[in-house]
Amino acid sequence: MKPDISTLHKPDILTLQRQHAARDLPPVTLLIDCTIMDGVLKEVGTTLATLAEGLRVTFRTMWRKPITENYPDEPVHFQARYRGIHVLHRDENGLEKCVGCFLCAVACPAHCIYIEAAENTDAQRISAGERYASVYNIDYSRCIFCGYCVEACPTDAITHGHGFELATHDINTLIHRKEQLLESFSASFQESSNRPTRAPAF
């Protein structure tokens, strides 16, 4: 005689359902169910571990003293790796390092660098190479500060500086020309550059 399910307690109903399911399902299906359950448990455990790690970082930094830059009343303290407005460098003789090879413009994913190259002459030598950049513009309305131009330059002519004040009401002023990017060459710089320096370690 089949028992009346409506008269059974809840645990008895679950037991009856498991027994019927166990008789109806083949062993392979039960094995698959166990594997799925094992994956779900592992995923839950990984999620909880990741959540605990995130909360650990949150609570660890919650009690630290906040770092506040009092700009513009005080100068901003930058990390050495900060990527700001680009700087075009000179060599120890005061000549421009840029030789107008266009590698930085080619490497730029935003296509924000525009260069026009010209030939050096004995009467007017701008760089140590055969050519120099007569025009070097960077459009900061498109620049994403990725650093690809710095990596592509074979003469280390361009690097990121620490300049960051680019806010303007006129988008045309975001195009910085060579005269704005080129570092100044003073007498003190020439004296310090002529002193022998140790090559950087890579």
pLDDT tens digits, 3-28 = 554 454 444 545 545 555 555 555 44
Same domain assignment for residues 107 and 186? yes
Q: What is the 3-state secondary structure (H, E, C) of 126-188?
A: CECCCEEEEEEEEECCCCCCCCHHHHHCCCCCEEECCCCCCCCCCHHHHEECHHHHECCCCHH
Same domain assignment for residues 92 and 189? yes
Segment (H or E) for 87: strand 86-88
Q: What is the pLDDT of residues 67-105, one digit of tens each?
A: 788 888 888 888 889 999 999 999 998 999 999 999 999
Q: Taking a C-beta distance cutoff of 8 angstroms, is the pair 117, 100 a contact? A: yes
Same domain assignment for residues 93 and 15? no
Q: Taking a C-beta distance cutoff of 8 angstroms, is the pair 153, 100 a contact? A: no
Same domain assignment for residues 146 and 189? yes
Q: Please check whether residue 77 lies inside any domain of the structure.
A: no
- Beta bridge partners, 176, equal 138
How far is Cα 148 from Cα 181, in angstroms, rounded to an integer? 17
Same domain assignment for residues 94 and 148? yes
Q: Taking a C-beta distance cutoff of 8 angstroms, is the pair 38, 126 a contact? A: no
Q: What is the pLDDT of residues 150-173, one digit of tens each?
A: 999 999 999 999 999 999 999 999
Closest CA to 160 of 77, 79, 47, 101: 79
Residue 197 has pLDDT above 60, yes or no: no
HSE, CB side, 13 Å, CA atoms: give it for residue 135: 7
Range of the domain at 187: 86-194
How many folded domains does the chain comprise?
A: 2
187 falls in which pLDDT band (50, 70, 90)? Answer: very low
Q: Please check whether residue 147 lies inside any domain of the structure.
A: yes
Amino acid at 193: S
Q: Please check whether residue 70 lies inside any domain of the structure.
A: no
Last residue of a domain, one of 61, 76, 99: 61
Q: Lowest mean pLDDT: which of 58-62, 96-100, 184-188?
A: 184-188
Same domain assignment for residues 188 and 90? yes
Same domain assignment for residues 42 and 113? no
Same domain assignment for residues 104 and 31? no
Rounded mean pLDDT of 115-130? 92
Same domain assignment for residues 130 and 40? no
Same domain assignment for residues 103 and 23? no
Length in residues, the chain: 202
Same domain assignment for residues 90 and 182? yes
Q: Taking a C-beta distance cutoff of 8 angstroms, is the pair 158, 89 a contact? A: yes
Q: Please check whether residue 141 lies inside any domain of the structure.
A: yes
Same domain assignment for residues 95 and 150? yes
Question: Any idea what the CATH number is for the domain that residue 117 is in?
Answer: 3.30.70.3270
